[in-house]
Amino acid sequence: MGDVLYFNGRFTTTAERIVSVEDRGFQFGDGVYEVFKFVGKRPVFLLDHFRRMDRGLREIDIPNPWNEASFSQTMSKLLERTSFADGVVYIQVTRGEGERTHFYPDGMQPTAVAYSRRFVFPDASRKERGIRLITAPDLRWKQCQIKSINLLPNALAKKKAQRAGADEALLVEEGTVREGASASFFVVRAGKIITHPLDEHILPGVVRDRVIGLAISAKIRVDERPLRETELFQLDEAFITSTTMGVMPVTEIDDRVIGNSRRGEVTAELQRLFDDLESQERSA
């Protein structure tokens, strides 16, 4: 039996093959996606993910099949049908099905898909040990603020990292560090956090935004500015954030040790604050 699957208003499982060969998501990568985490069948930051998806759909002129209330209701029903307690839900909305042509007609009916999937989140040991990164050229399109299903450059960068024995690729464009292939990126210097500003070069990460808010509340200075690749040699700490990884220390970049190759104090504090915030969210 496959995982629970929502498809255009009905529930089935991922064992059923349902997407048309002429769906524009399949043919053109014409759509957006979201991923949210659930623990004990309780979603984490659900409406944050909905609002980001809604912004992305509006930017590429696809009608959102849900509003906040119907989205929450659909995801609640999906989790009720899910047989396991912890995991992620993947959501994808495409422009819909139609004759394969670049000139898509107005008024297309979007295809909406969501399914649950088991996921083992990092344990305390992993969150202390951290991960290794490599740098890779940023080959993505020029609207990275949209969570597009066009992920070929990201997938190629991730595979390059895997082949190098690393966990993630850090995307660099003309000497400027952008973000990870599937994560936001932060560095710490002299107790201050530096991360790329929100613009068309990076995705507005749900966890990224929450962590910045936590840092500011904890009186940790946050400088949102472009980071030069040469600055990677001068770091006290580095970490990534994502839905599945939370706050994860970075101990090496391109085989260069960051700090003392151990989780730094600022990173550890933000991990603690974020874990507390997630717990509050699930119990609300």
| CATH number for the domain harbouring residue 128 | 3.20.10.10
Select from 265, 262, 258, 281 the least CA-distant residue to 38: 281
Domain count, the chain: 2
Q: Read off φ and ψ for residue 115, nearest 5 degrees.
A: -145, 150
Helix (H, G, I), strand (E, B) or coil at 277: helix
Please check the confidence at residue 202 and state whether its pLDDT lies above 70.
yes
User: Do residues 144 and 89 share a domain?
Assistant: no
Select from 90, 258, 231, 237 the least CA-distant residue to 166: 258
User: Do residues 133 and 271 share a domain?
Assistant: yes
Task: Provide the residue range defining the domain that includes 11.
Answer: 4-118
pLDDT, tens only, 8-26: 999 999 888 888 999 999 9
User: Do residues 244 and 160 share a domain?
Assistant: yes
User: Do residues 103 and 140 share a domain?
Assistant: no
Where among 103, 118, 133 does a domain terminate? 118
User: Do residues 132 and 273 share a domain?
Assistant: yes
- pLDDT mean over 255-275: 95
Please report, for the domain that includes residue 106, its CATH number: 3.30.470.10
**DSSP secondary structure, 117-140, as one string:** EE-----HHHHHH-EEEEEEE---
User: Do residues 20 and 161 share a domain?
Assistant: no
Please check the confidence at residue 1 and state whether its pLDDT lies above 90.
no
Q: H helices of 43-137, where?
A: 46-59, 68-81, 124-129
- The label of the residue with tokens 């040990």 reads 129
Please check the confidence at residue 164 and state whether its pLDDT lies above 80.
yes
| Cβ atoms of 42 and 12 closer than 8 Å | no
Percent of the chain with pLDDT over 70: 99
Where among 93, 118, 143 does a domain terminate? 118
User: Do residues 129 and 82 share a domain?
Assistant: no
Give me the chain's average pLDDT, please.
96
Query: What is residue 284's predicted lDDT score, i.e. its pLDDT?
Result: 64
How many residues in the chain?
Answer: 284
Handedness of CA 244, 48, 73, 7 (dihedral sign): negative
Percent of the chain with pLDDT over 90: 92
Where among 118, 145, 170 does a domain terminate? 118
User: Do residues 130 and 102 share a domain?
Assistant: no
Q: Which helix (H) or strand (E) holds 272?
A: helix 265-283
Helix (H, G, I), strand (E, B) or coil at 196: coil
User: Do residues 129 and 215 share a domain?
Assistant: yes
Residue type, 109: Q
User: Do residues 259 and 151 share a domain?
Assistant: yes
Rounded CA separation 196/183 (Å): 12
Q: Which residues are catalytic?
A: 147
Handedness of CA 6, 7, 8, 9 (dihedral sign): negative
* Alpha-carbon distances of 239 from 119, 188, 202, 262, rounded to whole Å: 21, 8, 16, 11
User: Do residues 200 and 275 share a domain?
Assistant: yes
